[in-house]
Amino acid sequence: MIDLFSGLDAWVVVSLMLALTFVLAFEFINGFHDTANAVATVIYTKAMPPHLAVFFSGVFNFLGVLLGGVGVAYAIVHLLPVELLINVNTGHGLAMVFSLLAAAITWNLGTWYFGIPASSSHTLIGSILGVGLANALLSDIPLGDGVNWQKAIDIALSLVVSPMAGFAVAALVLIGLKWWRPLSKMHKTPDQRRKLDDKKHPPFWNRLVLVISAMGVSFVHGSNDGQKGIGLIMLVLIGIVPAKFVLDLNSTTYQIERTRDATLHMSQFYQRNAATLGEFLALGKAKATDLPEQFSCNPQQTEPTIAALQSSLAGVTDYRDLSADKRVEVRRYLLCLDDTAKKVGKLPGLEAREKADLEKLRKDLTATTEYAPFWVIVAVALALGLGTMVGWKRVVLTVGEKIGKQGMTYAQGMSAQITAACAIGMANIFSLPVSTTHVLSSGVAGTMVANKSGLQGGTVKTILLAWVLTLPASMGLAAGLFWLASKAIG
C-alpha cells in the first residue's frame, strides 16, 4: 500500500483518499446498520450483555471479511456491463464511484435513523444499477445494455428467495422444537422467564445456542456484506489508478502462464465447437486488425483478441514489466474474452460437459483480474467490525419486540438465527449477495407466525415498504448524482 500514491498528481491523491473514505464509511455504516440484526436476538433474550455481544460480533465480522474470499465482491462488480468496467478513465471512475456511494450512504443513514431494518445489499445494488442505467443514457447506448441484466436477475432472485426461505425454514425449525420439547423453558420470553422463574438469563443450552448462532450470523454477514466493500474499493482503485490495479501485480509467473494457457485452450475449445459457435464468433472470418474497441466488446472479434492477448503476454513473467497502457489493454482483452465466454455458455447446443469446461477456463482467465490486495481486505474488515460496535440499539428493539405482537421466545431467537446463518452461508458458497436484514427479519416473522404470536402490521408494513422502496430510491439517487457528476467533469 506504501507505493499507492507514488507518481500521482495531487488532485488524484485527494480524490483517491476521498473515495476510499467513502467506501470505508459505507462499510462502517453497514456495520451498525446491518449487523444490529446479527446481535438483536442474543441481546434481546439476554443471552449476552450488549457490550460483549457487539464486541464479539465485530470480531466475527472482521474474521468473516478476512476469510471470505472475493466471489461475492466480483458478483457485485459485474452488475455493471463489461463496457463500463473496461472504461478506466479517471474522471469517469470518480463520477461512478462517488455517485453510487453517496446514494447508498444517504439511504442507509436515513433508514437507520428511523430504526427500519432496510437492506444495505439492496441499497448498494440499486445504486450500482442506477449508475449503469444513467451511463447508458449519457453514452447513447440501449438501456438494455446499461446493466448486466443476467447477473442482476441472478442477484435479484437470491435477494427475493432468501427472505422467503428464511421465513419458511425458521417457522419449520420452531415447529420442530415445539414438537420435540413442548414444555421446555426455551418457549418462554425473557419477561416470562424473569417473572415465573426469577431468572434473568436463558437456560444454559439455549443460551449457548443463541450465542454460537449469533456469532455464526456475524461471521457469514462479514463474509457476504464485507465482500461488497471489497468490490467497491477495487472499483475505486481500478477507476482512479488503473495502472496499479487493473491486473494483480503480485501475480506469480505460474499464474500469468495459466492465464496465457487459458486463452490457448479457449481457442481450441471454440474450434472444437465450431459447428455450434462458428457463426456467433465469426470463426475464420475476422481480420487480425478487428480488435475490441476501447470501450466495447464484440464476440465476433474473439479470434483476433485471443491472438493479441497471447502476443501481449508472450515472454511476460511479471506484470510489472508491462507498461501502464499495456496493462490496461491486457485487462480489456481478458474482460472481453470472459464476457464472450459467459455469452457462449448460455447458447443452446453446447453439451453440459463442454459448458463445465468453459467455466473452468473462465476461472483461469480471470484469476489475475478478480483479486483484492490484502490491505483492502483488512481495511474493509476493520471498518465493518468497528461499525458493528456502535449504533445497534435502534434495530435491536425492532427485531425483538416490534415484529410480533408478543416478545420473542428463546426458541424463536434460536430458530431465526440458525436459519439466517445457514442461508447466508449457502449464498456465500455460490457467490451470491443476500440481505442479512431481510433473512433474519423474515426468519423472526416466520417464528412469530409459527408460534401464533401474530405480527404487528405497522412494523411489517414499514419493513416491506423499505424493501420495496430501497431499490428504486437508491437507483434514482445514484442515477441523478452520476448524471450531475458526469456533466460537471464534461
What is the pLDDT, as a whole number, of residue 250? Answer: 92
- Residues 311-333, mean pLDDT to the nearest whole number: 92
Confidence of residue 128 (pLDDT cuts 50, 70, 90): confident
Q: What is the pLDDT of residues 266-302, one digit of tens each?
A: 999 999 998 888 888 888 876 666 565 656 788 888 9
Q: Please name the residues in contact with 275: beta carbons below 8 A apart, sequence gap of 6 or more.
A: none
Report the percent of the chain where pLDDT is more than 90. Answer: 24
What is the pLDDT, as a whole number, of residue 162? Answer: 84
Cell numbers that stand for 114 in this block: 428511523
Q: What is the pLDDT of residues 54-86, one digit of tens each?
A: 888 888 988 999 888 888 888 878 877 776 677
What is the pLDDT, as a whole number, of residue 262? Answer: 93
Range with the lowest mean pLDDT among 2-11, 60-69, 167-176? Answer: 2-11
Contact 250, 376 (CB under 8 A): no
| C-alpha–C-alpha distance, residues 103 and 129, integer Å | 12
Backbone phi, then psi, for 404, in 5-degree steps? -100, 165
Q: Quick one: angle between helices 410-429 and 149-180, nearest 10? A: 150
Residue with cell 444454559: 204
H-helix segments, 139-189: 149-180
Q: Is the pLDDT of residue 210 over 80?
A: yes
Q: Considering the chain, what is the average pLDDT of its residues?
A: 83
Q: Is the pLDDT of residue 483 over 60?
A: yes
Q: Is the pLDDT of residue 446 over 90?
A: no
Determine how many CB atoms are found less than 10 A away from the CB of residue 300.
Answer: 15
Which pTM was predicted? Answer: 0.83
Range with the lowest mean pLDDT among 27-36, 303-312, 431-440? Answer: 27-36
What is the pLDDT, as a whole number, of residue 287? Answer: 65
- Residues 228-256, mean pLDDT to the nearest whole number: 88
- Residues 196-207, mean pLDDT to the nearest whole number: 88
Determine how many CB atoms are found less than 10 A away from the CB of residue 182.
Answer: 8
What is the pLDDT, as a whole number, of residue 266? Answer: 93
Cell numbers that stand for 191 in this block: 419477561
Report the percent of the chain where pLDDT is more than 70. Answer: 85
The DSSP-derived string for 247-293 is S-TT--HHHHHHHHHHHHHHHHHHHHTHHHHHHHHTTTT--TT-PPP
Q: Half-sphere exposure of residue 438, counting CA atoms within 13 Å on the CB side?
A: 24
Q: Is the pLDDT of residue 260 over 90?
A: yes
DSSP state at residue 399: I
Cell numbers that stand for 303 in this block: 479470434
Q: Is the pLDDT of residue 1 over 70?
A: no
Determine how many CB atoms are found less than 10 A away from the CB of residue 37.
Answer: 30
Cell numbers that stand for 444 in this block: 423472526
- Residues 220-245, mean pLDDT to the nearest whole number: 85
Confidence of residue 372 (pLDDT cuts 50, 70, 90): very high
What is the pLDDT, as a whole number, of residue 459? Answer: 62
pLDDT: which is higher, 111 or 161: 161
List C-alpha distances in Å: 165 to 275, 400, 413: 42, 20, 16
What is the pLDDT, as a whole number, of residue 259? Answer: 93
| C-alpha–C-alpha distance, residues 381 and 66, integer Å | 6
Contact 196, 188 (CB under 8 A): yes
- Residues 389-411, mean pLDDT to the nearest whole number: 62
Confidence of residue 221 (pLDDT cuts 50, 70, 90): confident
Q: What is the pLDDT of residues 327-368, one digit of tens each?
A: 988 998 999 999 899 889 888 888 889 889 999 999 999 999
Q: What is the pLDDT of residues 404-437, one digit of tens each?
A: 456 788 998 899 999 999 999 998 888 888 877 7
What is the pLDDT, as a whole number, of residue 469? Answer: 79
Q: Quick one: angle between helices 253-272 and 274-281, nearest 10? A: 100
- Residues 474-484, mean pLDDT to the nearest whole number: 90
Confidence of residue 256 (pLDDT cuts 50, 70, 90): very high
Top mean-pLDDT range of 99-103, 109-113, 249-253: 249-253
What is the pLDDT, as a whole number, of residue 398? Answer: 53
Contact 479, 134 (CB under 8 A): yes
| C-alpha–C-alpha distance, residues 242 and 326, integer Å | 11
Query: What pairs with residue 263 in β-bridges?
Result: none
Q: Is the pLDDT of residue 88 over 60?
A: no
